[in-house]
Chain A
Amino acid sequence: MTTLTDPAQAPARSWVDPATTAPAPTLRETWEQTLSLAGRALLRMRRNPETMFDVVVQPLLFTAMFAYIFGGAISGDVSSYLPLLIPGILGQTALTACMATGTQLREDMDKGVFDRFRSLPIARIAPLAGPAVADLLRYAIAATLTILTGVLMGYRPGGGVLGIAGGWLLVVVAGWSLSWIFTWLGTVARSAQAVQGISMMIMFPLTFLSNAFVPVDTLPGWLAAFVQVNPVSHVISAVRDLLNTGQVTGEVGIALLGCAVVVAVFAPLAVRSYSRKV
């Protein structure tokens, strides 16, 4: 049944001379390793299509649900609520979509294959960045479906095609950036369930205590103060500006800056705790 190593057939060994090997992976190697691991994550998505359930169903369900429930109360009717709501839902779905990044990473890390990643001469960030890159697909799907649902319900973005493209891109970038928070959580939490639980606790205040569903001036002062500093509010305001007016406002700058800060803080934290994990 089994043929085993036959030394005579084995290829000539190319011995590695330790002195000639690089002390650390180059940037180019890091990028290639990240892409290889992103490829692995995509294969995994294809084999487990149920992991895409959230980004496919949530945009449809939440857009319709929130529009018909809150539309009349907040904006008088559904179609005048949509310019406020769609960017809000976009911000929310980006956040929930990247929440799954942490849970899946934790599940993955509990399996043996991560032990091998750790023993390989690859960049420490690659096993974390690979799935993050693959998850861009998830944010893209979520953003596309949300905008489409809105349009089907009568939403006519004032920003035109360029505005839509800009808003879409910002949502994808924001999802990717925020996912590093959950990646970090995935590396520090003990189990996938713990990641899930903590993620929910972060996700709910961040999305509902924002300007996603209601105008800020309807809120009491103390709550409005929190909503103003909530980074998700800035992302949503920026998306609103892009979608509804097509203008690249200061909010877009603040949102991008916020995203950059999140990545700059949480990516190194994640790599650090991943490298130390026993």
Chain B
Amino acid sequence: MTSTPPTDLAVDARGLVKTFAAQRAVFGVDLQVRRGEVLGVLGPNGAGKTTMLSMLATLLPIDGGRASVLGVDVARDPHRVRRLLGVTGQYASVDENLTATENLRLFGRLLGLPRAQARARADELLEQFGLTDAAGRPISQFSGGMRRRLDLATSLISHPPLIFLDEPTTGLDPRTRGQMWDTVRGLVAEGCTILLTTQYLDEADQLADRVAVIDHGRKVAEGTPEQLKSSVGSSTLQVRLADAARTSEAVGLLRERAGLAPSASPESGAFSVPLTEPDGAADVLLLLRDQGLSLASAALAKPSLDEVFLALTGDRTTRTETMRTETMRTETDTSTEEVA
């Protein structure tokens, strides 16, 4: 990142501060998005993601620090910044009283397109987003997924080089989510730069080139999804015993004899062992065999982004301990709901 000259940055924010009542505040966040990249801002609800995005999109005044978008200062030149941005909010921001076509035409006109061009662009986007059949219907009859698609289409009218997507798939069913992801990938292929916030780890994993994890208004980690995963330990050994009744015996054994911190999985007879080196797996398996604990299955895996997320956004003073405890482990499977 240090080798990147500042002109290559689509977004360059340094020490962004927003002071509000407690929640949703932002305390000095640095954020750099390179041109053509997808940066995922990951964090639980109330972490300050939307606040940060709103400041960058000129929707909220910046209380401290500075930010520029494609070289234009956000605080000094808000109108220019708005010209460069397509913003799709958390809630569909289209006019309920108008039809899909009327919405797209209205926003086309507002963006300065001549009447005929606004019409043509509206038809083009309706086609592109599979909304042609619903074009004449009022938005109040649209499903959640259709609204989001129209919302995104509206953000793309002027071909903005930089797009902010604020939780683009929150509240969507899995199928519609997948479609949204495809759309985002299509935008990336066209050369758009995307800054995306999400509370879904798999979304960041799927779409983002780099991820910045935000918690309580601070950036707690940044890197590629792979880098973040390896920061939690290089791998995890998942073990299931043939005799489920002996699980606690096995866990105790590994804790005392090998100094490891295994944690039981919700699945009966299963537990996972975080390892600093993948090679450590052999020692664990040998130790189990010596005690006559026979295996049903064993698998060596990279930690999931879920584990990274919980480790990073958990209580920071005790997180190194807690992330290995059983409570954390059992929460992992429901983490997306838990943090929501």
- Chain A residues packing against B (C-beta within 8 Å): 1-7, 9-11, 13-16, 18, 21-25, 29, 32-33, 36-37, 39-40, 43-44, 47-48, 111-122, 126, 276, 278
Q: Is B82 in contact with chain A by the CB < 8 A criterion? A: yes
From A6, A10, A13, A39, residue with most partner B Cβ within 10 Å: A10
Q: Is B95 in contact with chain A by the CB < 8 A criterion? A: yes
Decide: B80 and A11 in contact? CB cutoff 8 A: no
Decide: A3 and B127 in contact? CB cutoff 8 A: yes
Q: Is B201 in contact with chain A by the CB < 8 A criterion? A: no
Q: List 21 A-B contacts (CB under 8 A).
A: A2-B149, A3-B129, A4-B128, A4-B130, A4-B183, A7-B186, A9-B128, A13-B161, A18-B80, A37-B110, A40-B95, A47-B138, A112-B92, A113-B95, A115-B59, A115-B93, A116-B93, A116-B107, A116-B154, A121-B83, A276-B61
Instruction: Bin chain B's interface residue count.
Output: 35 or more
- With a cutoff of 8 Å between Cβ atoms, the chain A residues found around residue B71 in the complex are 18
- With a cutoff of 8 Å between Cβ atoms, the chain A residues found around residue B85 in the complex are 119
Q: Is B57 in contact with chain A by the CB < 8 A criterion? A: yes
* Distance (whole angstroms) from the CB of A108 to the closest CB of chain B: 9
B190's partner among A7, A18, A23, A115 (CB-CB below 8 A) is A7
What CA separation (Å) do A195 and B182 show in the bound complex? 44
Q: Is B26 in contact with chain A by the CB < 8 A criterion? A: no
From B91, B93, B187, residue with most partner A Cβ within 10 Å: B93
Known: A14-B159, A18-B72. A113 touches B191 (CB 8 A): no
Interface on chain A toward B: helix, strand, loop, or mixed SS? loop
Decide: B97 and A44 in contact? CB cutoff 8 A: yes
- With a cutoff of 8 Å between Cβ atoms, the chain B residues found around residue A10 in the complex are 128, 186, 190
Q: Is B77 in contact with chain A by the CB < 8 A criterion? A: yes
Known: A2-B130, A4-B130, A120-B82. A113 touches B94 (CB 8 A): yes
Q: Is B282 in contact with chain A by the CB < 8 A criterion? A: no
Within 66-113 of B, Cβ neighbours of A (below 8 Å) are at: 70-72, 77, 79-80, 82-85, 87, 89, 91-98, 102, 106-107, 109-112
Q: Is B179 in contact with chain A by the CB < 8 A criterion? A: yes
